[in-house]
Structure 1
Amino acid sequence: MIKPNAKQGFIRHGPVLIVQHHMASQAQATEPAVAVEDESAPALGVKVAVIGVGLMGPKESAALAVEVAAAGGLYVEAPVLGSQPEAEKGTLLIMVGAEADPREEPQGAVWRLLLCLGQEPNIHFIGPVGTAAAVKLALNQLIASLTVGFSTSLGLVQRSGAPVDKFMSILRASALYAPTYDKKLQKMIDRDYGVANFPTKHLLKDVRLFEAEAAAAGLDTRLLAALQGVVQDTVDRGLGETDYSSVYDAVAFPSKQEE
């Protein structure tokens, strides 16, 4: 039978097995994601689907799909954008990578379970396994880029003595504005990052994984290396468990002398 490894989270829901998987910090799995006790026979059965909702690289997701298929099952990657509040409201943005769009079988277990995770307008079929993982990584990279970028701009405004409220008024009226800026603004001003739905230590893992994937794709990763350095510095300050807006601390106060 199929079973989880120690570092994996599995939830069985009828004919569907949900896998909550986050790749290791070095963007490599140290163990197989799925372990089969009896390799001489299929472990899942053709009626069992495995849905991967965690973050992993496209290649790792494709490898998991092969592993599940070898065990007699069907693999669907469905990483989500959003955290606990969105999950409780059913407004998670879900990206789906699979052999076919689950909507083609509206009464199938996979589609019905996806509807439990999010509303239909927010469920997006991306393409084959690996494509949804790539889109999720691309979005999470923006979390780091936008937050570090905003921290830098805010820091300069504060150091110059310019009114932060005037800066924000202009920013909100411009095409440069992103709602996350207002969500994180007060945390940054107060330097009180609070309890995290998405902690800084997870952002660091995501940036590392994205950098590895970007390098493999032949992209310039110099900016990513700088982002990783800022997030790593934040974690090294003991802020790994706090909200990722804590990257402001590393940007605005790069040394203790400036605090």
Structure 2
Amino acid sequence: MKLAFIGLGVMGFPMAGHLQQAGHQVCVYNRSEAKAKDWAERHGGSFALTPALAAEGADMVMVCVGNDDDVRAVVYGEQGVLAGIKAGALLVDHTTTSAMLSEELAAAAKKQGVRFIDAPVSGGQLGAENGALTIMVGGAEADVSEAAEVLSAYGKKVTRLGPVGAGQRCKMVNQICVIGAVQGIAEGLMIAQKAGLDIPTMIDVLGGGAAQSWQLENRAQTMANGEFDFGFAAQWMHKDLGICLDEAKQQGLTLPLTDHVHKVYETLLEEGFGRCDSTVVIKDLASQKK
């Protein structure tokens, strides 16, 4: 298929590469032209100077940028995706955004005869590089079914959760569960370290019981070691939790844990830890030690 991929960050760069390797004809766009050129040289695809030019003639256009405003910047306007995409094409947004934005995009696309699905991903940079992402999708069944075969180039699991917006709401639940595990591990490690427990042994023991989780297996030791120069950045988790809290407010709900950790990230960002892995929340606890 002829595809376009908009946004070549730590996730988008390898995701677009998997599409090209799967035999599709991929044209990419990135705010940094140098990165787009680099991608084309590495993977053999092409690049365009605007999202509109990248989207011209494409059967599907994938977007993977930073936040709601970033998505609007590449989709709308004279140089945006909707200015170049053909009628009948499918627009796929992999960005983690508000569900309201997904509904807004679906309406804007429909006016031009373009279909839309929201498809946020989970699995981080490693999952993107290995083509093993979990993709949570909202949209019409036929559109999701059509997209699934293409998205399987980098998604080990592509699942429809419901209409447009359902994928984003599922991603919100994912992020809340992740930070719940991370915060719990951080607090547990404080006790373990204070008590002088052997951390690798403890992690191995807990991994065989009800406390087992991806976060425990992959992040507990690095948290204990004070290593945070990798993985999903704290600034992005802070953004995602803000989206969760906005959605909760719209639904008349309160999320005490999410609200607390969101404030922790806010403090950590102010202290310059925004680019650190999101497990850096343990630093907040460590700073409270007496």
TM-score interval w.r.t. the shorter chain? 0.7 to 0.9
Distance 1:112 1:31, change over 3 A: closer
State the secondary structure of the residue aligned to 1:177.
Answer: coil
Match of 1:118 in 2: 155
Distance 1:44 1:163, change over 3 A: closer
> Do residues 151 (structure 1) and 186 (structure 2) align?
yes
- Cα RMSD between the aligned structures? 3.0
Contact 2:148 2:158 survives alignment (8 Å):
no
Match of 1:136 in 2: 171
Q: Which runs of 5+ in 1 are unaligned?
A: none
Match of 2:117 in 1: 76
Amino acid in structure 1 at the alignment position of 2:127: E
User: How far has the Cα of 1:208 moved from its partner?
Assistant: 1.1
Q: TM-score, normalised by structure 1?
A: 0.80
User: How far has the Cα of 1:203 moved from its partner?
Assistant: 0.8
Q: What is the aligned-residue identity percentage?
A: 21
> Do residues 244 (structure 1) and 278 (structure 2) align?
yes
Amino acid in structure 2 at the alignment position of 1:241: R
Amino acid in structure 2 at the alignment position of 1:235: L
Distance 1:231 1:104, change over 3 A: closer
User: How far has the Cα of 1:199 moved from its partner?
Assistant: 0.7
Amino acid in structure 1 at the alignment position of 2:211: L
Match of 2:222 in 1: 187
Amino acid in structure 2 at the alignment position of 1:54: T
Match of 1:198 among 229, 232, 251: 232
Q: TM-score, normalised by structure 2?
A: 0.73
> Do residues 56 (structure 1) and 90 (structure 2) align?
no
Match of 2:10 in 1: none
Amino acid in structure 2 at the alignment position of 1:85: L
Match of 1:16 among 56, 60, 64: 60
User: How far has the Cα of 1:241 moved from its partner?
Assistant: 0.6
Match of 2:141 among 88, 91, 100: 100
Match of 1:173 in 2: 208
Amino acid in structure 2 at the alignment position of 1:183: N
Distance 1:177 1:115, change over 3 A: closer
Q: Distance in 2 between matches of 1:30 and 1:64?
A: 9
Q: Distance in 2 between matches of 1:126 and 1:30?
A: 22
Q: Distance in 2 between matches of 1:151 and 1:42?
A: 47
Amino acid in structure 1 at the alignment position of 2:158: I
Match of 2:251 among 200, 217, 236: 217
Contact 1:151 1:252 survives alignment (8 Å):
no
Render the CA deviation track for 1:8-46: whole Å, top value 9, x for unaligned. Answer: x9564821111224335xxx78956632439xx986432
Moved over 4 A (4+): 3-6, 28-33
Distance 1:32 1:42, change over 3 A: closer
Distance 1:23 1:85, change over 3 A: same
Distance 1:31 1:54, change over 3 A: closer
Distance 1:72 1:250, change over 3 A: same
Match of 2:87 among 40, 46, 53: 46
Q: Distance in 2 between matches of 1:77 and 1:31?
A: 14
User: How far has the Cα of 1:49 moved from its partner?
Assistant: 1.2
